[in-house]
Amino acid sequence: MDLKNVLSSCSTSANSVIKLTNSGGPSADDCGQEVDVYSLLIIDQHTFEVLHAHQFLPNEYAISIVSTKLGEDPNTYYVVGTAIVNSDESEPKQGRFVIFMWKDVNL
C-alpha cells in the first residue's frame, strides 16, 4: 500500500524549510506510530503565505517563544524553548533554547 499526503500543512508548503533530523532513535516510519512535529513558521502578515518553516527535531516540542533584544544589538531575536519528550518518562528531562533572527527575509 502506498501512503501519500492528502492535505499539505503550512510547514510543508513553505518556500524555505529547515528540517532537522535525529540519527539516533526510532522514527515514526520504523515503528508505524504517529509522531508530533513542531515547527516555527514565519508568515507574511498581509497574505498569510508561509515564508519560512523551521522544523524541530523528532520528539522535540516547542513549548514557548519570546521576542527580545540582546544587549546593544538593535536586532530582534526570537527565543524558542523546547522539551525533548520521551514516552518512557513521566515528564521531559531535556530541552534547549533555540535563538532565531529574522532579517531581510532570512532566518
| Domain range annotation of the chain | 58-106
What is the structure's pLDDT at 3? 44
pTM of the model: 0.70
CA distance 91 to 102: 32
In the block, cell 518518562 appears at 89
Structure-model confidence comparison of residues 51 and 18, the more confident one: 51
User: Predicted confidence band at 66 (pLDDT cuts at 50, 70, 90)?
Assistant: very high
What is the structure's pLDDT at 103? 81
CA distance 8 to 11: 8
